Structures are given as C-alpha cells and as structure tokens.
C-alpha cells in the first residue's frame, strides 16, 4: 500500500503509514453490581447534563458511550427494545437469582447464570445500563432523547465515567406563533444565529478506510466503521479535541475516553472542530494518525471546518496506525525549510552513509559550500528526524557553527496569490495557452484564467536574461506525459533570470515527473525536473503511485503550499521497503540566485519595531 508524506504549510515533512488492528472484546454475562452509576436525565432537565455510567467485562471494565443519532433512534426497532422505560418498574439487580457472590471477586455481587447483563429482560438498574441494558456486541438499541449507546472496553477495573448528554424532559415549549407579518431579513443577509450554548460531540474509531461524505473536503464529515471504538487516553495520551472560531471563541477538552463533548457559546456555522494527536507520537512504530480529513499540514490533526453546533452535532473521528520503519523521506540541499506545524523526515542513518548518501535533513548545496545548509523553522510545531529522538538535521562537516540547530515560534507573512496580484496584477497580459511566451529582457507578467497544464510538449526553458511571472486563477498540473525524464521548467544561471508560478488553487506534480533511477545524483549539473518559484494558495503535491517504485523527484527553487505540501513519493512497491533506506524520494535544492533576481515590483521590506533602552 502506497503511503503519503505531508509537507507542512510551506515546507517539508514525511509520513509512512501501515494499517494494523487491535483485538476487540465482547461482553461477559457477569454482572458487577458494585459499580454504581446514574445514567438518567433529570426529570426537569433541559440542556447538557453530566451523567455517570459504568459497565464491565470479565477482565476489566467497559465504557458506555452515547451518541446523538436521531435517524437510528427513530427507527421502529430502536423504539421498542428498552425493556423498562420507567425505572420504578425495574427489578433489583440479580433478584430473584438467589446465588452466592464469588468471595474472591470484590466486585462480584451475583455471578450466577440467571443474572445476565445481556438479557433483554434484565433490570434497568443494572450497572452499564442506560435506562436499559447494553446487549451483546456493545449496542443498547434503546434510545433516550435520541441517545444511541455503544459500549467499549477501556481496559481498566471497575470504572465510572462522566459524559455530557442533552436532556430535553424539562424543556419548555416555545411560544405559539401569532398571525400577522413578522420581521424578515433583508435580501442576501443571513439571519443572526441563535445565541446560547450548543454542543459538538462524537466518538473515536479505528478505520483506515474511512472517507469523507459528499464531495469530500474538510467541510464534510467522515464516515466509516464504528465497530472498533478507541480510547485515546490509553493509546495516545494527551490527545485534545477543540472547537474554535477564527478570531473568536476557542474551547477544548482532553480526549480521555472513547467519547467527547464540547459545549460552545454560539450556534454559528464557522467552527473548526479538530482532534490533535500527540507529536512526536508515544509509539513511533505504531503511531496513530488521521484516517480521514487530516489537516493538509499535519497528519496528526484531524479536521472538520465550517461546522455548526446544535443540541448534539455529531463529529466522529476515524484513525489508523502507522509503521514508519523503512519510511520514505525527503531532503533539502542548501537553504532552510519552514512549516506552520511539524517537520518530520526520518533519516535512515544506518544505511544512508557518505559519500553516496548524505544522512541529513538539510545538506550542503550541490557545490558543497560550507555553511550553505540552512535550518528547519516552525511556527508552532517541532522537528523530528529519527524515531530515537536524535537529531540528524545536519552532517557535522556541513556547518562550522550551529550544527543541528533549529528554530520554533517563527512566523512568516502570508504572501499568496492575492498578495502578489495586488502588487503587479494590473500589468498582467492574458496567457491563452500553456506555451511559454516570448519575452525579451523586460519582466513579463501574465495571467491565465482556469486550470493550466504544463508538460514536455510545452516546456518552459528560460535563458539567463528572461524573467516571467504567471498568475493562474485555478489549479496548475505539471506533467511528463511520456514519463521521459524530461526537465519541464528550467532557469539558466549566470544572469538575472526568474520564473514564478502562482496558483489560486493547487499545484500538482504528477507521478510521471522524475527519474526512474532512484540513485540519480541531485548534485549533478542540469538535473532538476523543475526549476523556479512555485506558490499555491491550496496544496502543493508531489504525487506518487500505489504499489509502484516511484520516480525520484528533484526540484530547484522555492516550493510553497499555504494549505500544505503533500509528498507522495515512495520507493517501496509493496514488496521492497528497503529501497527507501539509501535515497531520498524527493530532493529540493536551494537557488539563492532567485532571491537576488526577484523583481523589485514584488519585493517587500519586512521590519520589526521594538523599543530599546537609550544608550546615553
């Protein structure tokens, strides 16, 4: 199975994913009546209430998790399976069983066969019950206020959990509408959302094949199997769920159980609901990552955008496990890399050895100039170059100072399509086709409306005096249709040459761009598949192909993805993972001449003002 590497919101990071599964357990018939719990809404409750629930397995306890599922709960079967909707009608636990508790089991008050927690006729006040009982397989088909109950093993002893649920028994009916015209919103104006507390809630499940609903994208929820619930506190302690609004509210809770609930201050429709898994992962060999809707800049952050809370808005998260042994990895030659979140490229130092392979995240430039290897910079993440925690940012011989140095808390201005178009867009000529325009020594500025495909039939080869900026109001695809190891864009050195593509959407380099010989030396002159400055408002992707030894990609210049960078190359064809041990799948080469040759019209001064103590 081909795995995906991600390159965080402008620069580089790598991930290698292998799916595994954990054994799941079924209920036992033993009843642990000594585990008390209150699982009913109060008679006058209206809104979110915190309730307790319990349950047990033969070898541990269970967690009863209730989800809001009106479609399920309104089905005819679900409406009839709770045996005792009135707790006053419930028989006492294990009566009239008449059995003797096991004296060696402090939690066993009655373990005889007549007392079966999975029996549909069992008493409603049994532990683990939600105005009923949890049946074989972990599902209580009964529903109270549209709560659908699922029980999962949490691996502990007699356990009581608190869970927030929405209770409606005491909710007063709204006012009766009166006749006559009422206030209306002006045309084109969205009515103000109803203020007041609302809720997001959901569960955590393992399903590597989970997918987004609808047309996909993080605005759409994921759907998948719900047969394997996960307790993050056991496998990925420190995981956190948050609900935030840009420039406004931020709520968060620790993901301690298989269920979460967040109460918001408003019912606005612009919430981002995110699950942040720990990074670096506690167990790198079996790291939990998002199976669906991963943040393009962070596979350890599962993301739903533009969500609306309600009495119980359901947003389940689906996860998978990754094995990062023999992982594909990327490398830069010269210069620095920046990411909004994490940078991860696991360097195979035991097999990647000089002089044929440089065991470093950032190595010297192709000319071998001392101190040309830059630094990894992150805004809010961390840098990981090994499973052990050792740093392999540089080779010791590549720098005379600051070897293995990195910087965090580094922010950069967002210089995207609109930023540059505001500067020079009024000078842009129309680019009607994908062919490179003929320019002299003057700066040529062009705009293409719609998607643009550049391939070996329309290569952009610039002399050392040509300067071109291209705005593409759409996506850019860069292809080598015959997989002929062609150089699709080149920029000659020795002059003031400059080439820049800026996309308002995504930039994708197809899997056919690159070299079939994975040992191709990126320090060789005139070897890069792409040269130039490539900026995408969306995601910049270096695509790969499943079950195939991908081509080695070599790019020279600047590569920016404001929504993330996805590095999809992998030399493992499904049978030969060790091919990743000697060569980087993607190599990015710093071109300092592009900084020098950047046209003055798009340059800007970056200044930081601060007060200093007078020297007099």
pLDDT tens digits, 312-359: 678 999 999 876 667 899 999 999 999 988 888 999 998 999 988 999
- Measured distance CA(317)–CA(259) in Å, rounded: 10
Predicted local distance difference test score (pLDDT) of residue 449: 97
What is the CATH number for 305?
Answer: 2.60.40
Domain around 99: 47-167
- Please indicate, yes or no, if residue 339 is contained in any of the structural domains: no
Q: What is the mean pLDDT of residues 229-255?
A: 89
Question: Within a 10 A sphere around the Cβ of 303, how many other Cβ atoms?
Answer: 20
Q: What is the mean pLDDT of residues 608-616?
A: 79
Helices (H) and strands (E) in the chain, counts: 4, 39
Predicted local distance difference test score (pLDDT) of residue 439: 95
Lowest mean pLDDT among 102-116, 220-234, 451-465, 552-566: 102-116
Q: Which helix (H) or strand (E) holds 206?
A: strand 195-206
Q: Quick one: 429 and 575 in the same domain? A: yes
* Token pair in block for residue 92: 């006492």
Predicted local distance difference test score (pLDDT) of residue 169: 53
Predicted local distance difference test score (pLDDT) of residue 426: 96
Q: Quick one: 313 and 424 in the same domain? A: no
Q: What is the pTM of this model?
A: 0.63
Q: What is the mean pLDDT of residues 192-204?
A: 73
Q: Quick one: 292 and 219 in the same domain? A: yes
- Please indicate, yes or no, if residue 245 is contained in any of the structural domains: yes
For 309, list phi and psi in degrees, rounded to 5: -75, 155
Could you tell me which residues come within 8 angstroms of residue 123 by beta carbon, excluding any fewer than 6 positions away?
Answer: 84, 90, 91, 92, 93, 129, 133
Each residue's pLDDT tens digit, 119-142? 333 333 333 333 333 333 334 434
- Please indicate, yes or no, if residue 72 is contained in any of the structural domains: yes
93 or 592: which carries more pLDDT confidence? Answer: 592
- Please indicate, yes or no, if residue 230 is contained in any of the structural domains: yes
Q: Tell which of 150, 167, 184 closes a domain.
A: 167
Q: Tell which of 322, 340, 373 closes a domain.
A: 322
* Token pair in block for residue 602: 């798009």
* Strand pairing report for 147-153 and 139-144: antiparallel
Each residue's pLDDT tens digit, 369-390? 999 999 999 998 889 898 777 8
- Asked whether the bond before 529 is cis by omega within 30 degrees of 0, the reply is no
DSSP 437-492: PP--SSEEEEEEES-EEE-TTS-EEE-TT-EEEEEEES-EEE--TT------EEE-
Could you tell me which residues come within 8 angstroms of residue 460 by beta carbon, excluding any fewer than 6 positions away?
Answer: 436, 454, 468, 488, 489, 490, 499, 532
Average pLDDT taken over every residue of the chain: 75
- Please indicate, yes or no, if residue 372 is contained in any of the structural domains: no
Residue 334, burial from CB neighbour count under 10 angstroms (0-12, 13-18, 19+): buried
Q: Indicate the SS3 state at residue 362.
A: strand
Q: Quick one: 229 and 301 in the same domain? A: yes
Predicted local distance difference test score (pLDDT) of residue 107: 38
- Measured distance CA(200)–CA(285) in Å, rounded: 32
Q: Quick one: 152 and 218 in the same domain? A: no
Predicted local distance difference test score (pLDDT) of residue 314: 83
Percent above pLDDT 70 for the chain: 66
- Measured distance CA(310)–CA(610) in Å, rounded: 45
- Please indicate, yes or no, if residue 583 is contained in any of the structural domains: yes
Q: Quick one: 549 and 450 in the same domain? A: yes
- Measured distance CA(152)–CA(159) in Å, rounded: 12
Could you tell me which residues come within 8 angstroms of residue 392 by beta carbon, excluding any fewer than 6 positions away?
Answer: 347, 349, 359, 360, 361, 385, 386
* Beta bridge mates, 498: 467
Each residue's pLDDT tens digit, 477-527? 999 999 999 999 999 999 999 999 999 999 999 999 999 999 999 999 999
- Measured distance CA(251)–CA(256) in Å, rounded: 16
Among 12-21, 221-230, 561-570, which range has the highest average pLDDT? 561-570
Q: Quick one: 439 and 586 in the same domain? A: yes
Each residue's pLDDT tens digit, 26-36? 222 222 233 33
Q: Indicate the SS3 state at residue 223.
A: strand
Q: Quick one: 563 and 425 in the same domain? A: yes
Say which residue the tokens 């569960």 belong to. 203
Q: Quick one: 56 and 120 in the same domain? A: yes
Each residue's pLDDT tens digit, 296-316? 767 788 999 999 988 667 899
Q: Quick one: 271 and 309 in the same domain? A: yes
- Please indicate, yes or no, if residue 262 is contained in any of the structural domains: yes
Predicted local distance difference test score (pLDDT) of residue 457: 95
Q: In the chain, how many domains are there? A: 3
Q: Do residues 154 and 258 lie in contact, with contact meaning Cβ atoms separated by under 8 Å?
A: yes
Q: Quick one: 257 and 126 in the same domain? A: no
Q: Quick one: 456 and 558 in the same domain? A: yes
* Token pair in block for residue 42: 């109060």
- Measured distance CA(307)–CA(319) in Å, rounded: 20
- Please indicate, yes or no, if residue 335 is contained in any of the structural domains: no
Predicted local distance difference test score (pLDDT) of residue 250: 92
Among 27-31, 112-116, 162-166, 472-476, which range has the highest average pLDDT? 472-476
């Amino acid at each position: 199975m081909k795995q995906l590497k991600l390159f965080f919101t402008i620069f580089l990071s790598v991930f290698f994913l292998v799916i595994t599964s954990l054994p799941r357990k079924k209920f036992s018939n033993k009843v642990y009546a000594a585990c008390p719990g209150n699982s009913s809404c109060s008679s006058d409750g209206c809104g979110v209430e915190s309730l307790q629930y319990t349950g047990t397995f033969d070898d541990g306890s269970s967690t009863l998790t209730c989800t809001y599922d009106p479609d399920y709960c309104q089905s005819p079967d679900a409406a009839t399976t709770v045996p005792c909707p009135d707790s006053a009608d419930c028989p006492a636990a294990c009566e009239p069983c008449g059995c003797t508790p096991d004296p060696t089991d402090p939690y066993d008050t009655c373990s005889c066969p007549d007392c079966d927690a999975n029996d549909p006729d069992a008493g409603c006040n049994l532990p683990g019950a939600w105005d009923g009982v949890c049946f074989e397989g972990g599902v209580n088909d009964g529903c109270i206020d549209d709560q659908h109950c699922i029980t999962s093993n949490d691996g502990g002893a007699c356990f009581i959990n608190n869970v927030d649920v929405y209770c409606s028994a005491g909710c007063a009916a709204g006012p009766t509408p009166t006749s006559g015209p009422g206030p209306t919103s002006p045309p084109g104006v969205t009515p103000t959302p109803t203020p007041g507390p609302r809720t997001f809630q959901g569960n955590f499940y393992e399903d590597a094949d989970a997918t987004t609903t609808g047309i996909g994208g993080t605005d759409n929820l994921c759907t998948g199997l719900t047969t394997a619930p996960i307790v993050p506190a056991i496998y990925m302690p420190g995981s956190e769920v948050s609900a935030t609004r840009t420039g406004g509210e931020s709520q968060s809770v620790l993901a301690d159980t298989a269920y979460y609930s967040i109460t918001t201050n408003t019912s606005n429709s612009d919430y981002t609901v995110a699950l942040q898994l720990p990074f670096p992962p506690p167990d790198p060999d079996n790291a939990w990552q998002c199976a669906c809707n991963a943040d393009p800049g962070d596979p350890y952050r599962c993301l739903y955008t533009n969500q609306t809370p309600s009495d119980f808005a359901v947003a389940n998260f689906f996860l998978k496990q990754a094995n990062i042994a023999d992982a594909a990895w990327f490398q830069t030659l010269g210069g620095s890399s920046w990411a909004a979140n994490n940078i991860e490229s696991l360097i195979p130092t035991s097999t990647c050895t000089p002089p044929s392979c440089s065991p470093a995240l950032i190595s010297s430039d192709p000319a071998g100039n001392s101190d040309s290897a830059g630094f990894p910079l992150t805004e809010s993440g961390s840098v990981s170059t090994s499973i052990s925690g050792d740093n392999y940012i540089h080779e010791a011989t590549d720098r005379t100072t600051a070897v293995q140095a990195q910087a965090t808390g580094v922010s950069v201005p967002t210089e995207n399509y609109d930023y540059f178009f505001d500067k020079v867009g009024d000078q842009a000529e129309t680019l009607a086709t994908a062919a490179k325009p003929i320019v002299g020594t003057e700066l040529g500025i062009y705009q293409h409306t719609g998607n643009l495909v550049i391939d070996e039939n329309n290569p952009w080869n610039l002399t050392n005096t040509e300067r071109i900026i291209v705005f593409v109001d759409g996506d850019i695809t860069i292809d080598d249709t015959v997989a002929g190891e062609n150089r699709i864009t080149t920029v000659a050195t020795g002059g003031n040459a400059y080439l820049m593509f800026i996309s308002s959407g995504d930039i994708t380099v197809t899997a056919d761009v690159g070299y079939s010989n994975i040992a191709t030396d990126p320090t060789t002159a005139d070897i890069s598949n792409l040269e130039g400055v490539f900026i995408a408002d969306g995601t910049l992707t270096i695509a790969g192909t499943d079950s195939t030894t991908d081509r080695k990609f070599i790019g020279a210049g600047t590569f920016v993805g404001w929504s993330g960078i996805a590095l999809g190359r992998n030399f493992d064809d499904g049978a030969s993972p060790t091919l990743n041990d000697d060569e980087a799948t993607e190599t990015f080469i710093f071109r300092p001449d592009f900084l020098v040759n950047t046209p003055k019209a798009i340059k800007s001064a970056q200044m930081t003002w601060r007060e200093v103590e007078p020297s007099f």
